[in-house]
Structure 1
Amino acid sequence: MDWQAWHTKYDDPESALSRRLEAVQAQVRAALDRAPAGPVPVISLCAGQGRDLIDVLEDHPRRGDVQARLVELDPELSAFARERASGLDQVEVITGDASLTDQYVGMVPAELVLLCGIFGNITSADIERTVATTPQLCRTGATVVWTRHRDEPDLVPTVCDWFEARGFERVWVSAPEADFGVGAHRFTGVPEPLVTGQSLFSFVPGGA
């Protein structure tokens, strides 16, 4: 996958990726709106260019409360995110493997966890493993925003079931007829201790 070329679709307002970004950002904004007073820790796995969060923080009233860590393996994409976050000292961009739980030491349990651009590129077993690990990443009341295409096999309903079996309640899921899939789930359970040394997923050539 040429991830640089893939990201250029964000700049086309007519693209499905651009519409997906708008939906993700709306859920990020809503999550920040309902975050409790005090620090708001945020982590983003496979953050790409960081647009999901960084663009929202530009004018969000809670931007000063956010402490964020964005992890992205591609050095050009992480450099783009780092430049885009210029002036947001509370946003840390790490060039590294986002599948490793060690990347999130000191940042979890978080108030907002972004799992965007992942579930369409890994196996269903890895999706289920990642979802099963999210209670280690979330504090009670936290929101997870995730994406997954609606192509057959449409796993979005199954992903919702996996989250809801792990103590999450559904906040919002895009309509089946949309040309993208975005979900937001709120954690109602008790955070689990972070188990370091785990690898949650591996990208599959051509997506999954």
Structure 2
Amino acid sequence: MTPADLALMCGVFGNISDEDIERTVGFCTQLCATGGTLVWTRHHKQPDVFPKICDWFEKRGFVREWLSAPGAGFGDGVHRFASEPAPLPVGARMFTFVGYDVLAQVARER
């Protein structure tokens, strides 16, 4: 089923650690076909890692197509994959779902 012309990474990045976000962005190079579109979401609540996510995608061969405005009340991004996809490894873990509530609690304790 990979590589795909359209991949959705929605409802994930707000519920996993920053390290797992970056790891998952790396997997997106295996999910998307050359020229494929990736739609992703991440809120702008503090800490706002939206800019980091854009950088992680762009360092891995994705081209920014569209981003929602920071004050829009939501965070959506669209990137196009401009590189060659890598094979998707069997049995690899992309991320561990933690949940926004747990991540928010950890951030408050820091």
Unaligned runs of 5+ residues in structure 1 are: 1-106
The alignment's TM-score, normalised by the length of structure 1, stands at 0.48
Tell me which residue corresponds to 2:41. 147
Flag the structure with larger Rg: 1
What amino acid does structure 1 have at the position aligned with 2:6? Answer: L
What amino acid does structure 2 have at the position aligned with 1:135? Answer: T
1:128 aligns with 2:28: no
CA contact (8 A) 1:122 1:207 kept: no
The alignment's TM-score, normalised by the length of structure 2, stands at 0.89
Cα pair distance change 1:123/1:185, threshold 3 Å: same
- Give the root-mean-square deviation of aligned CA atoms: 0.9
Q: Return the offset for 1:135.
A: 1.0
Q: Return the offset for 1:203.
A: 1.4
Q: Return the offset for 1:207.
A: 5.1
Unaligned runs of 5+ residues in structure 2 are: 104-110
1:156 to 46, 50, 71: 50
Cα pair distance change 1:207/1:143, threshold 3 Å: farther
Tell me which residue corresponds to 1:109. 3
What amino acid does structure 2 have at the position aligned with 1:116? Answer: C
Q: Return the offset for 1:117.
A: 0.3
Matched ranges for 1:58-77 at <5 A: none
Q: Would you say how many aligned residue pairs link Structure 1 and Structure 2?
A: 102
Deviating beyond 6 angstroms after TM superposition, the runs of 4 or more aligned structure 1 residues are: none
Greater relative contact order structure (CA < 8 Å, 6+ sep): 2
